[in-house]
Amino acid sequence: MGVIHQRTSISFSKRVSAIVCMATFFVAFSLHGQSDTLHNQTDFHAVTILPFFMDLVEDQDAPPARRELRMREIAVENMHGIQWAAERLSNAGYRIELGFFDEVADTLGLNHWSIEDIYDADVVFGPLQLSPISMSRRIIERTGAEHILLTPVPAAFLRGSDAVRTVIPSKLHAVDILARDIAEKHSQDNVVFVMSGGNDLELEERFLDVFNEALQPDTVYADSLLFDTVQASRNSIGSLSEKLDYYSRNVIVSLAGRSSRSMHSNLQMAVQINDSTEIFVYTHPELKDLGFIDVSFLERTRTTMPVSEEVNWSDSATIAAVKVFQSQFDTQPSKYSIRAHDAFLDAFTRKLEGDLGPMDFSVLPAPIATVFDWVAVGQFSGYVNKYWTLKTFYQRQWCASDSVPTLQDFIEPELD
């Protein structure tokens, strides 16, 4: 068990609902059970910059600062994920140093951290907000530390520095595997692409590019494909019902996320009305978060979506890892804790690989949800995680799409 040395105090409730006082501290874990070679080469210093809002003063006569308080909760959950990963590495015999700083400037506009606080860090996690990221990324770059972002950012934030990584799986790469799967399996079917535009426009344009590219090798299918688009919105499916063909196998594609709840509700209704038509659905991973989607809809349409960051709760190693978190914080890890935990372990393993060269690192504590498959967004640019896999709802459960039986050839129904 590591020994915690605090330079300043932190006060928070057992369920971590608020921070009373937050300042810099570090955790130095003792080394045990490792060889002298590893002792000399595996020290790992991580600094984390998060929105703790330690200078926030709530006025009892004013409305509660809901945004700031929620950001603080997310910051603490990320902090716990970092501490969790460090504890697991400590238990495995590695020496880890952690430093935490508030990314929100004080009441005078001065930062709570400076380059001297991070100059010897191996990795810097955060900040979470775009403005602090923009102001800090060049400072972090000058230290030579790897800069890992725990929040999605525009591609522009990753250009010009190959030391930056964002752990959030890139939805552009989710669209890639979706488009290629449809081109492979449904090139002779009636594919209807429901385009809602707005925030989803970039994903929709990416789908059209990748889908058309995937069809090019087979010009026969590309020429005969029944492909159409429907201009929809966050609230409407447009003319989708008119595009469904009773005499064809229909494949509906929608890349709209949770912000298009009304559109998804109308799509479900359109499928239910066409109960004699064969329909399959490919959709955005956030559909899982919409509580009104019926199991019967998912089953009938064999709904398929890209998924990432999934926890296998039946895995014994995962259960053991979660027990470490429970013993530390007396609660279950949130998605933010899990994401930060996995990112920390991935960064540690990559540093070890760089220090020691090719070795078997399978004995190291491993991420429990996130698979990392890094790809640069351009030359001399940062990295995104491109890992996604497809899941299909089949026999009342989500299954790996490649394990679902292949569809039989479509038999055109006869007229009554």
Burial of residue 309 (CB within 10 Å: 0-12, 13-18, 19+) is buried
Q: Using 50, 70 and 90 to split pLDDT, how confident is the model at 414?
A: low
Which range, 17-21, 266-270, 274-278, is most confident? 266-270
pLDDT at residue 16 in the model: 32
pTM score, whole prediction: 0.85
pLDDT at residue 413 in the model: 72
Both structure tokens of 339: 């994401």
**Terminal-residue alpha carbon distance, the chain:** 75
pLDDT at residue 59 in the model: 74
Q: Using 50, 70 and 90 to split pLDDT, how confident is the model at 30?
A: very low
pLDDT at residue 259 in the model: 87
Whether 350 has a pLDDT exceeding 80, the answer reads yes
Alpha helices by DSSP H, listed for 216-305, are 219-224, 240-243, 261-273, 295-301
pLDDT at residue 301 in the model: 94
Residue extents of the structural domains in the chain: 11-151+311-369, 190-304+392-403
pLDDT at residue 5 in the model: 32
213-259 per-position pLDDT tens digit: 988 765 544 444 578 999 999 899 999 999 998 889 999 999 998 88
Q: Could you tell me the fold of the domain covering 11-151+311-369?
A: Rossmann fold (3.40.50)
The whole-number average pLDDT for the span 204-211 is 94
288, 305 contact by CB (below 8 A): yes
**Closest listed residue to residue 354, CA positions, set 117, 122, 153:** 122
**Closest listed residue to residue 229, CA positions, set 261, 248, 205, 246:** 205
Whether 326 has a pLDDT exceeding 70, the answer reads yes
81, 337 contact by CB (below 8 A): yes
Residues 294, 297, 298, 303, Cα dihedral to 10°: -140
| Residues 364, 93: Cα–Cα separation, whole Å | 10
357-407 per-position pLDDT tens digit: 888 888 999 999 999 999 999 888 999 999 999 999 999 999 999 999 988
Both structure tokens of 394: 């089949």
169, 387 contact by CB (below 8 A): yes
CA separation (Å) from 300 to 100, 280, 295, 414?
49, 8, 8, 21
44-78 per-position pLDDT tens digit: 999 999 999 998 887 777 777 889 999 999 999 99
Longest Cα–Cα distance of the chain, Å, equals 82
Q: Is 48 helix (H, G, I), strand (E, B) or coil?
A: strand
Handedness of CA 42, 43, 47, 52 (dihedral sign): positive
DSSP 379: T
